[in-house]
Amino acid sequence: MFSYLSDARRCLPELDRAELEDIVQWFRDHLDEPACMVPARVARDSTGDDEPSAVCWFRARALQHIARARRLSVLVRRARIAIIERWSDEVPGEICSEDAEQVAVASFWD
């Protein structure tokens, strides 16, 4: 969802943009960037050009982060950008990095 914020900003009215910026600032203050977004074992295609990149998942116990992400998704949807919430009880790939709030995972299904 965070990768769509620039597009959302262009489409939202001023009041929604202000709320979006407040939420983004909260994440800057309360969420560390993952230490690594590439798995230890990099599987490349035949050209050697593809380097997998991870997707970040919030841990279920990161309630404040999830609540703000949900609100952020409402704002992004107002900009006509489709956002889907996913839950998983299993780690959906190879862990690249993790902390108390999130897990960066390279998918097994790429």
Domain residue limits, the chain: 2-107
pLDDT over 70 percentage in the chain: 85
Mean pLDDT over 89-94 rounds to 83
Cβ burial, residue 87 (10 Å; 0-12/13-18/19+):
exposed
Residue pLDDT, tens place only, 10-21: 999 999 999 999
Reported confidence tier of residue 53, pLDDT bands at 50, 70, 90: confident
**Do 78 and 16 touch, CB atoms closer than 8 A?**
yes
Tell me: pLDDT of 2 over 60: yes
pTM over 0.75: yes
